Amino acid sequence: MLSDLFRSWRRRLAATSSSRWLLRITSLVLLVLCGLHIGYTLRAQGLNPAPESAADVARWPIVPIEVLHVLEGLDAPVAGLASAQPALNVRLADDTQQSMEFPVPLTWPGRRATVLDDAALRKLPGCMGYVRGEFLRGLGSAPRFRIWELHCGPVHHSYEDFRSAYDAARSEGPTPARWQWGVLAALLLVALLAWVPWPSRRPHSADV
């Protein structure tokens, strides 16, 4: 009985075309990669929730800064989950430089933080002040500091400002985005169909 099943399996394996195997392997690889990306996004969101209140932010230490540049577009830092734009390139009290970003949901592609308008951004380069925030955890990339309170020169934004902009960005759509779930579902369907043993069509011999 087992030997008959084994021989039948070997015949099916030999009859499967190389193009069918290529489709199977490709669909499985893409399915795994898409699933890993969505899982990575959900894990990053869970490890980096927004602070619950201004009192939580007030307990964080003050970080003195001097803003050197506002980074946007190609100048902005690139990370595993796309960083928020714009980002700030700042000088710290120990004279080291670091990039800092404003709170947006962690997803790919990245979203633009809307809490500061263009007029406020133009006032930041050269200003001195302080921020409160925290480093993002579990991203497996370069250290990323997320600002939840900013006071620099004439620009002042509290936790409430950042939180309202963050919640507005989350309300625009789920994280991960719906299209990413759609891609995952489509890849799952393709992978399942690729492994269905469809009967092969044999050419009919012409009547003599």
Per-residue pLDDT of the chain (208 residues; tens, 9 = 90+): 556 655 665 555 555 567 777 777 887 887 787 777 777 777 877 888 889 999 999 999 999 999 999 887 545 555 555 566 788 999 999 999 998 989 888 776 556 677 788 888 899 999 999 999 999 887 766 778 999 999 999 999 999 999 998 888 777 765 556 666 677 777 777 777 776 665 555 555 444 4
How many whole angstroms separate alpha carbon 178 and alpha carbon 140? Answer: 24
Note the pLDDT of residue 118.
86
Closest CA to 83 of 59, 61, 112: 112
Residue 53's pLDDT is 93
pTM of this structure: 0.68
CA distances from 92 to 60, 64, 96, 104, 131 (A): 16, 6, 5, 23, 11
Please say whether the beta carbons of 176 and 38 come within 8 A: yes
Rounded Cα distance, 145 and 92, in Å: 12
SS (H, E, C) the chain: CHHHHHHHHHHHHHHCCHHHHHHHHHHHHHHHHHHHHHHHHHHHHHHCCCCCCHHHHHCCCCEEEEEEEEECHHHCCCCCCCCCECEEEEEECCCCEEEEECCCCCCCCCCECCCCCHHHHHHCCCCEEEEEEEECCCCCCCCCEEEEEEEECCEEECHHHHHHHHHHHHHCCCCCCHHHHHHHHHHHHHHHHHCCCCCCCCCCCCCC
* Tokens found for residue 202: 């044999």
pLDDT of residue 128: 95
Choices 2.60.120, 3.40.1800, 1.20.58, 2.40.50: CATH for 51-171: 2.40.50
Q: What's the confidence (pLDDT) of residue 106?
A: 76
Domain map (residue ranges) of the chain: 51-171
Cα 105 to its chain centre, rounded Å, is 9
Q: What is the pLDDT of residue 208?
A: 43
